[in-house]
């Protein structure tokens, strides 16, 4: 009698991947609800920040270019970017800050994107996999066990790599 079976396999690509040029370190996650007419003036980012709208559309100026993503999307603010929140309507979002080590100095993450790359590539309209990882970081983040920081760093790295892959 023949044996029937289904096998689905996911395997690691052959060869060694190039070593990442930095280590991702989780810094903080804020879950924010902004009421209308909130404006955060222009400020320069020293580290990576991912803005993930969870209620309403997120609007901002990144390097003086307007960016808007709907709920479920994502915006990447890279080290050295100038960023300005435009909360002219109610919006809820998660803001995840990451450090990229080694950077040029302890207080500044390494450059992530070529400055000539258009700001539009930093915005993703639909990013359910990124939102899911951020939600997991939000839920697991408060843990204080011996592995909590490593789990936070691993989830933060997953967020960043998923965003860059998009």
Query: Alpha-carbon distance 95 to 29, whole Å?
Result: 6
Residue 125 DSSP label: S
Average pLDDT over residues 76-87: 90
* pLDDT surpasses 60 at 116: yes
pLDDT tier, 131 (very low <50, low <70, confident <90, very high otherwise): very high
CA dist., res. 78 & res. 62, Å (int): 9
Q: CA-to-CA distance for 110 and 154, rounded, in angstroms?
A: 18
Range 66-86 average pLDDT: 93
Whole-prediction pTM: 0.84
């Amino acid at each position: 009698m023949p044996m029937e079976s289904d096998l689905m396999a996911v395997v690691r690509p052959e060869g060694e991947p190039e070593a990442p040029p930095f280590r991702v370190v989780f810094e903080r996650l804020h879950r924010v609800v902004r009421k209308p007419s909130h404006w955060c003036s222009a400020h320069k980012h020293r580290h990576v920040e991912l803005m993930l709208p969870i209620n309403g559309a997120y609007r901002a100026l990144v390097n003086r270019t307007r960016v808007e993503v709907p709920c479920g999307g994502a915006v990447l603010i890279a080290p050295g970017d100038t960023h300005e929140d435009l909360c002219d309507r109610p919006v809820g979002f998660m803001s995840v800050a990451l450090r990229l080590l080694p950077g040029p100095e302890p207080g500044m993450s390494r450059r992530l994107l070529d400055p000539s790359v258009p700001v539009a590539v930093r915005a993703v309209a639909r990013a359910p996999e990124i939102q899911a990882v951020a939600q997991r970081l939000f839920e697991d983040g408060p843990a204080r066990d011996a592995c909590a920081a490593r789990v936070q760093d691993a989830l933060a790295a997953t967020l960043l790599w998923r965003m860059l892959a998009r």
